């Protein structure tokens, strides 16, 4: 839903291992560290972060890094809501607020099942929540295309996967922001 992935030419994919456990699933520091810098892979005994720790970025003081967030207050509110639902592991609530309005109830239920019971559900869920959290706070966002009143497409570095650029689009229909599908 509304997502595209572009691997950097430098190669690489997921550096960390996913542990089972929903939005609080552990994420290897090889995939991301609390300050956002990629940490070297240290094997199975490496320190683990929860999904919440991976998306809440502690500040180490002033920096020249500028975070790029939406200028739309209504889209920012939607992103805040999605992150709140994601961190609460409310997958049904998240899907009901995320999928495009023209998606049938059966398709929305299928998407929810994919995020709940599919073999890769925990990893997909963790990555989705981390992506929405990253664009919510502007972490790793390179640019935002669209007028941000009817459409916004975020181009950003995946917060957990090394060398993975992402694209997530949102459209506003009748005052309601949803993922582009």
Is the pLDDT reported for residue 99 higher than 80? yes
Region 41-68 average pLDDT: 51
- Over residues 146-170, the pLDDT tens digits come to 999 999 999 999 999 989 999 999 9
Region 70-75 average pLDDT: 94
Q: Given this model, what pLDDT does residue 49 score?
A: 46
Cα distance between residue 36 and residue 53, in whole Å = 10
**Angle, helix 121-137 to helix 73-87, in steps of 10 degrees:** 150
The 3 state secondary structure assigned to the chain is CCEEEEECCCCCCCCCCECCCHHHCEEECCCCCCCCCCCCCCCCCCCEEEHHHHHCCCCCCCCCCCCCCCCCHHHHHHHHHHHHHHHCCCHHHHHHHHCCCCCCHHHHHHHHHHHHCCCCHHHHHHHHHHHHHHHHHCCCEEEEECCCCCEEEEEEECCCCCCEEEEEEEEEECCEEEECC
Token pair, residue 120, equals 């890769």
* Highest mean predicted confidence (pLDDT) among 16-25, 26-35, 51-60, 80-89: 80-89
Q: Given this model, what pLDDT does residue 62 score?
A: 52
Beta-bridge mates of residue 153: 145, 169
For residue 115, name the pLDDT band (cuts at 50, 70, 90): very high
Cα distance between residue 127 and residue 27, in whole Å = 10
Q: Given this model, what pLDDT does residue 58 score?
A: 52
- pTM of this structure: 0.69
Q: Given this model, what pLDDT does residue 181 score?
A: 77
């Amino acid at each position: 839903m509304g997502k595209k992935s572009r691997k950097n030419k430098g190669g690489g994919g997921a550096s960390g291992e996913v542990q089972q456990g929903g939005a609080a699933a552990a994420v290897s520091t090889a995939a991301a560290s609390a300050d956002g810098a990629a940490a070297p892979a240290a094997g199975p005994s490496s320190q683990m972060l929860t999904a919440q720790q991976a998306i809440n970025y502690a500040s180490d003081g002033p920096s020249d890094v500028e975070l790029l967030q939406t200028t739309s207050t209504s889209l920012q509110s939607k992103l805040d809501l999605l992150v709140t639902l994601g961190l609460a592991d409310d997958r049904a609530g998240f899907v009901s607020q995320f999928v495009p309005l023209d998606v049938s109830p059966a398709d929305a239920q299928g998407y929810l099942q994919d995020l709940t019971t599919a073999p890769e559900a925990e990893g997909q869920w963790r990555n989705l929540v981390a992506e929405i959290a990253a664009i919510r706070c502007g972490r790793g966002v390179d640019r935002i295309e669209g007028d941000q009143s009817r459409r916004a497409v975020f181009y950003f570095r995946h917060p957990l996967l090394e060398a993975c650029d992402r694209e997530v689009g949102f459209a506003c229909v009748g005052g309601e922001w949803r993922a582009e599908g």
